[in-house]
Amino acid sequence: MPDHAQDAAASPLRLVELRETPLDVAEVVASLDDDSSGGLTLFVGRVRDHDHGLGVTGLEYSAHPTALDALRRVCEQVGREHDVHGVSAVHRVGRLEIGDLAVVVATTAAHRGDAFQASRALIDTLKAEVPIWKHQHFADGSEEWVGTP
């Protein structure tokens, strides 16, 4: 077996990145393609047009220099704590418009229940622990930082 195949078999991490370019759901799904997984669950976070009763006109995501390492640790943790075959997570940074994809996370497992639990843990832990901050711009001219220390 080639070395890269052994590495893939040893770790459930498939695609873990921060990007300034638009996210592609199909790329994340393709990163988790394997014949042993009966379930693949996917969460896609999008920029919505409102928050706190105010219209949102756009936002920027900023990431601490350690954010990618933190994202990788979260993915590894989910891989250890859940019976999964694959884990992928991609988060956008920079300026995003309404409707843009901000985050795509997915997991695969032999059974759907394991995949659902792992994906829920993945997005919830990512939001709580990865140092990525959202700067929202509202239609009334106000702004808000979310997730800053």
**CA nearest 134: which of 63, 86, 83, 51?**
63
Average pLDDT for residues 76-87, to the nearest whole number? 97
Per-residue pLDDT tens for 24-72?
Answer: 999 999 999 999 999 999 999 999 999 999 999 999 999 999 999 999 9
Per-residue pLDDT tens for 8-24?
Answer: 457 999 999 999 999 99
Can you give the CATH number for the domain in which 136 is found?
Answer: 3.90.1170.40
Count of domains observed in the chain: 1
Average pLDDT for residues 95-115, to the nearest whole number? 97
Domain that holds residue 29: 3-146
Q: Using CA atoms, how far apart are residues 77 and 72, in angstroms rounded to an integer?
A: 9
pLDDT of res. 9? 54
